Amino acid sequence: MSKRIVALAPLAGFTESAFRRLSRELAANLTWTELISADALLAKGLDLPNSYVSAAERPIRFQLHGYDEKKLAKAAELVLTKIRPDGLDLNAGCPAPKVLKTGGGAALLGDLPRLFRLARTLSEISHGFGVDFSVKFRLGLKEDQLEKIAETLLKAGVDILVLHPRTAKQGFSGKARWERIKDLAILAKGKAQVYGSGDITCLKDLGIFFGETKAQGVLIGRAALTRTWIFAEWKLAQEFELNFYGRLSLLRKLDFYLSEYRSQEERLRILKTFAPKFLKSMPYKRKFLPLILKAKDFEFFWKGLEYWAETCR
């Protein structure tokens, strides 16, 4: 439909390798890792499940979060050397209290001199490895300071500005201010690309988003969990629905991809987090879902889903 980028957004607890791979199979232009702590990487290395990257999910941007410049620099060099992602990203937008209290995530928006130093350092390291550098951020910590933040990031040499147009204080409440993404696109024109996110729920929203914002790309987060095929809809320029069996097949593919690097116990736990999302609008959900989520083994889990599917025929 267009050369504009429609990507899978980073979502903590969801966008690990298996779901990224599934999204790419369904035509996402690129994927993003969930935010990964620089401290955790340096302490535990790259053998963590959320650091696993398969060839099938590329192109991929690896997102780090942290507060300490030296630790972030070391983590970036480790990731770029060992994993060789297609781009590096700094999270300056996560509003989760456990991230804010570390000084990372959206807390960086309250300390622009530090944000500048971190972004400049990571930008230089990324460019040294031949990849571009992005920062995912919000309008501000408690109030809208877009122009100051944008100026800071552009001076630091950031290649892609990724804006979720709410403040950290807002969380996901209220309406995403797409007009501020347009303002950012004007500010950054000729200096950096602009991607946006927020309140994309269907194919129609994507068309409106690009028309209103003039952004080069969009990240889809929460909607990708309940309508993972939205990427294919964009590629085909056609809206369509998946029946129960179609959604069940996506869940089975997800399990197959998880089996490459997750234990059976972990797989079952993860599938239980995805099942309510994939099957959100299916009939008899109140009847069957609680039973399926109580499954102690794969046999009961899949048999319960098959029985639910038969009931929906």
Sequence-ordered list of residues with C-beta below 8 angstroms from that of 299, at least 6 positions apart, any chain:
none
**Terminal Cα-to-Cα distance of the chain (whole angstroms):** 33
**41-75 burial code (b ≥16 CB/10 A, e <16):** bbeeeeeeebbbbeeebbebbbbbbbbbeebbbeb
Q: How far apart are CA 304 and CA 298, in angstroms?
A: 10
Q: Measuring CA to CA, which residue among 197, 195, 201, 238 is closest to residue 217? A: 195
Q: Report CA-CA distances (Å) from 148 to 12, 44, 138, 158.
A: 27, 36, 12, 14
Quick one: pLDDT at residue 2? 46
The type of residue at 50 is N
Q: Measuring CA to CA, which residue among 272, 252, 255, 275 is closest to residue 263? A: 255
Quick one: pLDDT at residue 221? 93
Which positions are annotated as active-site residues?
94
Per the CB < 8 A criterion, the answer to whether 150 and 188 are in contact is yes
Quick one: pLDDT at residue 47? 84
Element housing 188 (H / E): helix 178-188
Q: Measuring CA to CA, which residue among 185, 230, 189 is closest to residue 211? A: 185
The first and second tokens of residue 201, run together, are 């729920």
Q: Three-class SS of residue 109?
A: helix
> What backbone phi and psi angles, to 5 degrees, belong to 161?
-100, 120
- 160 bridge partner residues: 134, 193
Quick one: pLDDT at residue 244? 93
| Sequential pLDDT tens for the chain (313 residues) | 348 999 999 998 899 999 999 999 999 999 999 999 999 999 998 888 889 999 999 999 999 999 999 999 999 999 999 999 999 999 999 999 999 999 999 999 999 999 999 999 999 999 999 999 999 999 999 999 999 999 999 999 999 999 999 998 888 888 999 999 999 999 999 999 999 999 999 999 999 999 999 999 999 999 999 999 999 999 999 999 999 999 999 999 999 999 999 999 999 999 999 999 999 989 988 898 999 999 999 999 999 999 898 887 7
Predicted TM-score of the model (pTM) = 0.93
